[in-house]
Structure 1
């Protein structure tokens, strides 16, 4: 199975580009104002990097500067938080937040997991 990458839509880069254009005139005023250009660059890095990868090895949650992989044998379940965000629950009881995914993304995550994560929309046999 190839790695499936779940990221923000690339249309989220549009406000980042607008922010870059708006900051550009300010950056020419002083040398210190050049640091303002780091804000849209950091936002672009966040849009492009943050997300979730699903592979045969497990589920990897990626932030801007780090990544944490939870292997399939370590996965105990999925918790839906108060803001409908998703958390992986490991067999040791620790939890890993899945960035950019919400409860509405559970069927897609279940499909990508190859049956390792149950689809909440599928009725179960009793």
Structure 2
């Protein structure tokens, strides 16, 4: 099972996390109990580094901060575009799985990685 594509957030997304850490540092230094706010930038950094989508020959795996969800190509009923051009996998059982780093503009690449299992609809010609 070779991974065809591993899609993650850009490491540039860690810059706001560093800024957040610098901003909460004075508050965290105020008392030992306030130091717990340092967990916020740590959780944000973990999310940036972990969240993503893996596409391989057998299916798609979405990764979140705490877990992952795998959808085999055979279980895929379709892909739905929701608000802000975000994508969701629709399973044959009627469930939906969010694709966290992919947008509607990524549909042609995803269709290519699927090996022809679904096509991207073309806009009607005038």
TM-superposed deviation, 1:122: 9.5
Contact 1:61/1:67 (8 A) holds in 2: yes
Tell me the SS of whatever aligns to 2:71. strand
Structure 1: which 5+ residue stretches go unaligned?
none
When the two structures are superposed, what TM-score results if normalisation uses the length of structure 1? Answer: 0.88
- When residues 43 and 111 of structure 1 are mapped into structure 2, their CA distance, relative to the original with a 3 A threshold, is same
- Cα separation, 2, equivalents of 1:53 and 1:120: 23
Structure 1 equivalent of residue 61 of structure 2: 60
RMSD: 1.9
- Cα separation, 1, equivalents of 2:122 and 2:14: 32
Tell me the SS of whatever aligns to 2:36. helix
- Cα separation, 2, equivalents of 1:49 and 1:106: 22
Structure 2 equivalent of residue 48 of structure 1: 49
When the two structures are superposed, what TM-score results if normalisation uses the length of structure 2? Answer: 0.88
Tell me the SS of whatever aligns to 2:120. coil
Structure 2 equivalent of residue 5 of structure 1: 6
| Equivalences for residues 1-126 of structure 1 within 5 A | 2-3=2-3, 4-120=5-121
TM-superposed deviation, 1:6: 1.0
The number of residue pairs the alignment matches comes to: 123
User: Over residues 71-97 of structure 1, what are the superposed CA-to-partner deviations in whole Å (9 max), with x where a residue is unaligned?
Assistant: 011111111113321111111111111
